[in-house]
Amino acid sequence: MTVTQRIPIDNMELLIRLFGTMDENVKAVCDNFNVSVVLVDGQNCIKGESENVEIALAVIKKMISCVENGTSLDVGRVQYFCDCAKDGKLDEIDQLLHGVVALTHRGNPIKCKTVGQKKYVDAINKNIVNFGVGPAGTGKTYLAVALAVNAFKAKKVDKIILTRPAVEAGEKLGFLPGDLQEKVNPYLRPLYDALQEMFGIETYQKLMEKGSIEVAPLAYMRGRTLSNAFIILDEAQNTTKEQIKMFLTRLGENSKMVITGDLTQIDLPEGKISGLKHAVRILKDIEQISIVRFSEKDVVRHPLVQAIVKAYERGEQK
């Protein structure tokens, strides 16, 4: 049976944010549930089969809650809401609408966009060593940096250390100009960008000069004990078993570690076992170590990224 139900929002400014650029947000809901938006007596309404309208309207009400509390909406987030509704987990979104992970240097709030991200943030806050494993675009590194900045600003740690293995992804370091630090800087660029967004460029540069922030290739960690620090190892899928063991055993007093990686993007030479894959298998039952696995539904970049991730997963399975 075809029914029509009103979209319960009157504020024009909020309505514009709800619909999105070129109405892309509401179009995503319509495409997911085979409904349409129609005008009835000057009111925006959802029209379609009764069951479809009910679930589409439930999603739109969650979207309204977002715009009312100042949370931004985009197609990626709307698609996530739709996926939750299809899985019968729409109520889980409520925990995402409240609570701020951190603030950028401009005062903009950083919030979890998926339930997977919320579990990840909660795990890092609770445990000493934390693994975030999953596809690109799930916010693994960005959220870890945000929590590191929180800990530093709250004086829970004296230093932030960010590191990545300098493994070529189809390129050769030797052909890049400059010394070792200059050669690996492109690999560390995402970490620089995240830190600058949190601190602002001037503060970030001062903290780098003081040594309060250290961004370095993984090889620089050998032989050290890392105390009173928040340490992030990014792109850990490209570590060997020996490298990740070396890194984990650098842990000192009053420190926290976050290890992130995507096991579908291993660039190690053929025959080398990923240290990340090995570590999450043998450390999974140890207290104070958390392992959070993200799926393609936690991808918060362009919706097309979800489709790409799914396609590669299907290819790997075949």
**84-137 pLDDT, tens digit each:** 999 888 888 887 777 788 888 888 888 888 889 999 999 999 999 999 999 988
| Surface-to-core class of residue 196, CB atoms within 10 Å of its CB (0-12 exposed, 13-18 middle, 19+ buried) | middle
* Residue 171, pLDDT above cutoff 70: no
Residue 264: its pLDDT value, please? 87
Nearest to 18, CA basis, from 85, 57, 67 = 67
Residue 317: its pLDDT value, please? 67
Mean pLDDT within 240-265: 94
Question: 170 falls in which pLDDT band (50, 70, 90)?
Answer: very low
Question: 143 falls in which pLDDT band (50, 70, 90)?
Answer: very high
Over the range 56-74, which residues count as b (16 or more CB within 10 Å of their CB) and which as e? bbebbebbbebbeeebebb
Residue 127: its pLDDT value, please? 97
Are 271 and 240 spatial neighbours (Cβ–Cβ below 8 Å)?
no
Beta strands of the chain (E only): which ranges? 2-6, 36-40, 43-49, 102-103, 109-110, 129-133, 159-164, 213-217, 229-233, 256-261, 289-293
Report, in angstroms and rounded to the nearest whole number, the Rg of the chain calculated over CA atoms.
22
Mean pLDDT within 278-285: 94
Residue 279: its pLDDT value, please? 96
Nearest to 194, CA basis, from 232, 155, 247, 167 = 232
Question: 158 falls in which pLDDT band (50, 70, 90)?
Answer: very high
d(CA 163, CA 69): 36
d(CA 92, CA 112): 12
Cα atoms found within 13 Å of the Cα of residue 48, Cβ hemisphere only: 17
**In this predicted model, which residue has the larger pLDDT, 303 or 308?**
308
Q: Kindly report the number of other CB atoms within 10 A of residue 285's CB atom.
A: 7
Phi, psi of 200 (to 5 degrees): 90, 150
Is the dihedral angle over the CA atoms 210, 213, 217, 219 positive or is it negative? positive
* Residue 172, pLDDT above cutoff 70: no
How confident is the model over 176-221, as pLDDT tens digits?
A: 555 555 655 666 777 888 899 999 999 999 999 999 999 888 888 8
Residue 173: its pLDDT value, please? 47
**Can you give the pTM of this predicted structure?**
0.81
Quote the mean pLDDT of the chain.
87
How confident is the model over 51-69, as pLDDT tens digits?
A: 999 999 999 999 998 888 8
d(CA 25, CA 134): 26
Residue 297: its pLDDT value, please? 82
d(CA 313, CA 318): 9
Residue 303: its pLDDT value, please? 64
